């Protein structure tokens, strides 16, 4: 019994330490995976890069309009002419654009249906409310207001201290210390929350997009019949009883990857285990047949409430 | 049962065709019950997948009403398929696909409900005022801090004028320094209506003020202490200015000059500071809830206040740029300032949702 419990524990340990479960209102458990800190850092860097490009592009565009097209000089801002007015308009536009890039970039994208900025989309993560609640507009606003002191303020602080020259040491170190407190914050809690997540009640999770794979048990090989040689593979109770669900999933992965060397290795391992000596060259059909019959057996056990986690679980069925 | 097909007899049977017994077994194997289940429901899964993908790509308009209505039902179908598959199928890829699909659909079905426009309507139509009122006592705490800051600034500078330079960031050539004559100070308050670049200055000021108030809010995270310090520091500057103009008998004129936009701007800073204190207090004294839950509840409540603060600062910047320059006398400036103050108090504290159906009252500013 103790062995069985240990085996089940090992089976569950395959699930990541980052996985969480939420319960939907329909009573369905949905697994979520907390995004890794590395992925979040990568997403942030991508976003900062994009914002930087957008700022440079906007600035260059405004300069081009101002200096190139309208032919302004820097001191024409005080002119009471149309040129002066246009330059003022451009400057106002510039300040508003800078404010929006800094504050609205993350906000607007995270309010969208994907709950992710372009950087997060590329990395494949998104924002969600903790404990399976509804993600609200307020939560997204709150988590992004905090970004200002977590990221932009210390950066400006350090930058300013480096520029001014005088009291570089104290101010710059204060900025670095501040920055570190916020940067390291996600490392001190299980859910990798940053301060903004704490305030907003959100977390960042992986947003996998999977295609529906081919059903494996509908092919010719699944009938136990090899298309190449015509061999009929039938496995007996004892030959199927040695493996459990974990091995079935490994086998499934090998079949879906469809790499000949890997399949040959696995087929050889299975043959050794069950005492067969199958010829080489027909591994795919052999594994298809073994997979389907093993799955049929295990699923039948499941329907009767008997599960076999892996090969170490003692006799189910 | 333990037949071994690698024996010659089995191979021969295989070549010659299946025996009836084996055909039955093969038919059963050919479509595993769990795969039959999957194949039956696949079209519905794929339909949901297509709808969800289109919504995620932001192509809301290309989705037919029929699909949109079907979305919740399809989501529930997939959720139940997932439950069944978990209990009956060992096809890891299918379960992973269903988990991913159910998760994506769940995010959409239970995602942010309001569009930005809908949220804005709710926000201006009473949501903002309600969230401000929910701050409760923290507004009074912040107000006390601001008054304290002003008094402290005044007292510091009056005891030693050198403090003025520490409190007020002096720009080059700024005439507003201790010892400035009455004429110079007077000139800084009036007669500037011909300066053309003030609109630019206002947008710059808005940017600055908005960052300061966002900081006052965000710093509430450290149990509210930095928010309080920021409030005190910023209003100490106000106290120092008041002392300077008071020395030349221009207190009234300065208040008029400040009040045009100041009632709105200081109100916004008050709300930002109060929000910061609110979060700090919620984290320091979470009560029955866990610290995390208390912080999250306070954060969401105050986020709405902060959206309003940014809006108020835009109004303040516009007032500063235009109204102050157009009104070149103290009395009309005071009237505008007082009117704005009454408007904000009335809108945020007196006007309650439900009494009127209109939502346009909010953006009268």
pTM: 0.75
Q: Which residues of A touch B96 (CB under 8 A)?
A: 208, 210
Q: By percentage, how much of chain A surpasses pLDDT 90? A: 11
DSSP string for residues in chain A: -HHHHHHHHHHHHTS-TTEEEEE-TTS-EEEEEBPPHHHHHHHHHHHHHHHHHHHHHHHHHHHIIIIIIS---GGGGG-SSHHHHHHHHHHHHHHHHHHHHHHHHHHHHHHSTT---HHHHHHTEEEEEGGG-PPPHHHHHHHHHHHIIIIIHHHHHHHHHHHH-TTHHHHHHHHHHHHHHHHHGGGGSTT---HHHHHHTEEEEE----PPPPPGGGSTGGGTB-TTT-PBP---HHHHTT--HHHHHHHHHHHHHT-HHHHHHHHHHHHHHHT--PPTT-HHHHHHHHHHHHHHHHHHHHHTT----STTS----
Nearest to A111 among B34, B112, B199 (CB): B112
Q: Is residue A5 part of a domain?
A: no
- Tell whether A134 is covered by a domain: yes
CB A315 within 8 A of CB A1: no
Specify whether A232 is located in the same domain as A150: no
- Say whether both A103 and A236 belong to one domain: no
Instruction: Please report the pLDDT score of residue B150 as a whole number.
Output: 93
Compare CB distances from B29 to A292, A302, A303 and report the shortest one's residue. Answer: A292
Identify whether the C-beta of residue B40 lies closer than 8 Å to the C-beta of residue A310: no
Say what the pLDDT of residue A45 is: 93
Contact B111 A113 (CB under 8 A): yes
Nearest CA to CA, how far is A235 from chain B (Å)? Answer: 7
Determine, for residues A201 and B32 on separate chains, whether the beta-carbon distance falls below 8 Å: no
Query: Contact B197/A276, CB-based, under 8 Å?
Result: no
Same-domain pairing of A67 and A191: yes
Domain final residue pick, A206, A232, A256: A206
The predicted pLDDT at position A172 comes to 66
Nearest Cβ partner for A210 among B39, B96, B221: B96
The pLDDT, as a whole number, for residue A50 is 94
In a domain, A295, yes or no: yes
A199 and A286 both lie in a single domain: no
For the segment A157-203, what is each residue's pLDDT rounded down to a tens digit?
677 666 665 555 666 677 677 778 888 888 888 888 988 898 888 99
Minimum CA–CA partner of B96 in chain A: A210
Nearest CA-CA distance, residue A284 and chain B, Å = 16
Identify whether the C-beta of residue B299 lies closer than 8 Å to the C-beta of residue A200. Answer: yes
State which of A149, A181, A206 marks the end of a domain. A206
B32/A296 CB distance under 8 A: yes
Domain match, A192 and A226 both: no
Q: Is the pLDDT of residue A79 over 60?
A: no
Q: What is the mean pLDDT of chain A?
A: 78
Q: A90 and A116: one domain? A: yes
A117 domain residue, yes or no: yes
Range of the domain at A141: 34-206
Task: Answer yes or no: is A168 within a domain.
Answer: yes
Task: Tell me: do A73 and A202 sit in the same domain.
Answer: yes
* Interface size, chain A vs chain B, as Cβ–Cβ contacts under 8 Å: 249
d(CA A128, CA A136) in angstroms, rounded, equals 9
Mean pLDDT of A196-215: 85
Residue of A225 and B355 predicted with greater confidence: A225
Determine whether the interchain pair A236/B90 forms a contact, defined as Cβ–Cβ distance below 8 Å.
Answer: no
pLDDT at A294: 85
Establish if A247 belongs to a structural domain.
yes
Q: Are residues A132 and A71 in the same domain?
A: yes
Q: Are residues A187 and A222 in the same domain?
A: no
Per-residue pLDDT at A224: 66
Nearest chain A Cα distance for residue B239, angstroms: 26
For residue A232, list its beta bridge partners. Answer: A225
Is the per-residue pLDDT at A256 higher than 90? no
Q: pLDDT: is A15 or B182 the higher one?
A: B182
Q: Which residues of chain B have pLDDT under 50?
A: 1-20, 22-30, 355-365
A100 assigned to some structural domain: yes
A223 to B292: CB separation less than 8 angstroms, yes or no? no
Residue ending a domain, among A159, A182, A206, is: A206
Question: Taking Cα atoms as reference points, which of A38, A58, A39 lies closest to residue A102?
Answer: A58
Break chain B into its structural domains and give their ranges.
19-109, 117-364
Q: In B, which residues are within 8 Å of A131 by CB distance?
A: none
pLDDT of residue A120: 93
What six digits make up the tokens of B344? Answer: 């904000």
Q: What is the pLDDT of residue B359?
A: 40
Domain contains A14: no
At A116-136, the pLDDT tens digits run 899 999 999 999 888 778 888
CA of B144 vs chain A CAs: smallest distance (Å): 25
Number of domains, chain A: 2
pLDDT digits over B236-254, tens only? 888 988 888 888 888 888 8
Provide ipTM, 2 decimals.
0.77
């Amino acid at each position: 019994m103790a062995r069985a419990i240990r085996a089940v524990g090992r089976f569950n340990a395959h699930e990541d330490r980052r996985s969480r479960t939420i319960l939907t209102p329909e009573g369905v458990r949905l697994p979520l995976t907390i995004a890794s800190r590395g992925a979040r850092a990568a997403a942030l860097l991508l976003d900062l890069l994009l914002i930087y490009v957008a700022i440079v592009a906007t600035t260059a565009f405004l300069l081009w309009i101002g200096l190139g097209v309208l032919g302004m000089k820097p001191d024409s801002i005080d002119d009471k002419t149309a040129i002066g007015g246009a330059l003022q308009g451009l400057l106002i536009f510039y300040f508003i654009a800078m404010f929006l890039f800094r504050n609205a970039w993350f906000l607007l994208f995270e309010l969208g249906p994907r709950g992710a900025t372009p950087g997060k989309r590329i990395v494949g993560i998104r924002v969600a409310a903790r404990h399976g609640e509804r993600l609200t507009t307020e939560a997204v606003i709150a988590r992004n207001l905090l970004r200002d002191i977590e990221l932009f303020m210390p950066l400006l602080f350090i930058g300013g201290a480096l520029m001014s020259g005088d009291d570089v040491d104290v101010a710059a170190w204060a900025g670095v210390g501040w920055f570190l407190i916020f940067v390291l914050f996600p490392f001190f809690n299980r859910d990798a929350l940053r301060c903004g997540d704490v305030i907003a009640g959100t977390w960042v999770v992986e947003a996998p997009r999977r295609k529906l794979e081919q059903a494996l048990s509908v092919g010719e090989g699944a009938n136990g019949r090899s298309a190449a040689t015509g061999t009929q593979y039938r496995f007996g109770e004892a030959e199927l009883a040695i493996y459990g669900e974990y091995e079935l999933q490994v086998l499934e992965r090998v079949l879906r990857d469809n790499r000949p060397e890997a399949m040959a290795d696995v087929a050889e391992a299975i043959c050794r285990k069950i005492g067969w000596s199958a010829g080489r060259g027909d591994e795919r059909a052999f594994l298809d047949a073994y997979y389907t019959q093993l799955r049929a057996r295990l699923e039948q056990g499941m329907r009767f409430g008997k599960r076999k986690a892996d090969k170490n679980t003692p006799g189910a069925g | 049962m333990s037949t071994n097909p690698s024996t010659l007899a089995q191979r021969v049977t295989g070549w010659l065709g299946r025996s009836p017994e084996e055909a039955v077994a093969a038919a059963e194997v050919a479509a595993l019950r769990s795969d039959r289940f999957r194949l039956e429901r696949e079209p519905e899964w794929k339909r949901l997948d297509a709808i969800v993908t289109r919504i995620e790509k932001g192509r809301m308009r290309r989705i037919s009403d029929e699909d949109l209505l079907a979305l919740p039902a399809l989501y529930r179908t997939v959720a139940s398929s997932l439950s069944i598959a978990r209990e009956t199928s060992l096809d890891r890829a299918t379960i992973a696909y269903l988990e991913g699909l159910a998760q994506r659909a769940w995010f959409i079905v239970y995602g942010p409900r309001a569009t930005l426009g809908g949220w804005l309507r709710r926000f201006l139509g009473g949501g903002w005022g309600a969230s401000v009122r929910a701050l409760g006592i923290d507004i009074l705490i912040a107000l006390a801090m601001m008054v304290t800051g002003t008094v402290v600034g005044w007292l510091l500078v009056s005891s030693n004028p050198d403090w003025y330079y520490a409190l007020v960031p002096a720009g080059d050539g700024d005439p507003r320094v201790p010892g400035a004559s009455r004429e110079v100070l007077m000139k800084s308050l009036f007669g500037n209506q011909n300066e053309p670049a003030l609109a630019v200055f206002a947008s710059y000021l808005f940017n600055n003020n908005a960052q300061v108030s966002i900081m006052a809010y965000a710093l509430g995270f450290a149990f509210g202490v930095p928010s309080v310090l920021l409030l005190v520091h910023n209003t100490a500057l106000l106290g120092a200015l008041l002392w300077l103009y008071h020395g030349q008998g221009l207190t009234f004129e300065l208040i008029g000059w400040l009040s045009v936009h100041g009632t709105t701007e200081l109100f916004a800073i008050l709300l930002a500071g109060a929000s910061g204190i609110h979060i700090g207090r919620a984290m320091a004294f979470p009560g029955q809830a866990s610290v995390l839950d208390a912080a999250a509840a306070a954060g969401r409540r105050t986020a709405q206040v902060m959206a309003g603060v940014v809006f108020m600062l835009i109004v303040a910047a516009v007032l500063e740029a235009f109204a102050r320059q157009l009104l070149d006398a103290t009395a009309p400036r005071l009237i505008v300032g007082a009117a704005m103050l009454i408007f904000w108090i009335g809108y945020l504290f007196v006007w309650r949702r439900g009494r009127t159906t209109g939502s346009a009252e909010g953006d009268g500013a």
